[in-house]
Amino acid sequence: MEILLAFLIGILYASGIYMMLRRSLVKLIIGIILLGNGANLLIFLLGRITKDKPPIIPEHSKVFLDGFADPVPQALILTAIVISFGLQAFAIILIKRAYKVAKTDDLDQMNTTDEYA
């Protein structure tokens, strides 16, 4: 399972970088989304995939006696999902406004911004 996730992370990173290198702003956003998903899966994979109990210490003991699932990577991924959603929403609105002003989403044609100001 971990090998499959490692290949999936590599594919997400490669496709995300490829999409970010295209000249279209829409493809840039898709590339950022793919990179964010790859980073979330990487954090999840680094936290080790376990099917153990939740990390709750029983009342009569002071330490964990059995194996438990690590909650830190899960909390980091939830935070990263919220932040990436906010970034994606902002970028989509920014691209919509840039398209409305420049009438194109090609980055090479947007390079001469003096005409649109």
Could you tell me which of 51, 86, 57, 88 has the C-alpha nearest to residue 69?
51
User: The pTM is what?
Assistant: 0.76
Instruction: Report the Cα 62 to chain-centroid distance in Å.
Output: 37
pLDDT < 70 regions, the chain: 52, 65, 112-117
The answer to whether the CB of 19 falls within 8 A of the CB of 34 is: yes
Q: Tell me how far apart the alpha carbons of residues 12 and 33 are, in angstroms, rounded to a whole number.
A: 9
Which pLDDT belongs to residue 7? Answer: 95
Could you tell me which of 27, 32, 114, 48 has the C-alpha nearest to residue 80?
32
- 94 found inside a domain: yes
pLDDT tens digits, one per residue of 39-54: 999 988 887 777 767 7
Domain count, the chain: 1
- 93 found inside a domain: yes
Which pLDDT belongs to residue 78? Answer: 92
CATH code, domain carrying 83: 1.10.287
- 45 found inside a domain: yes
Q: Tell me how far apart the alpha carbons of residues 55 and 43 are, in angstroms, rounded to a whole number.
A: 18
> Torsions phi, psi of 50, nearest 5?
-130, 155
State the first-to-last Cα distance of the chain, in angstroms, to the nearest integer. 52
Domain range enclosing 41: 2-52+69-104
- 79 found inside a domain: yes
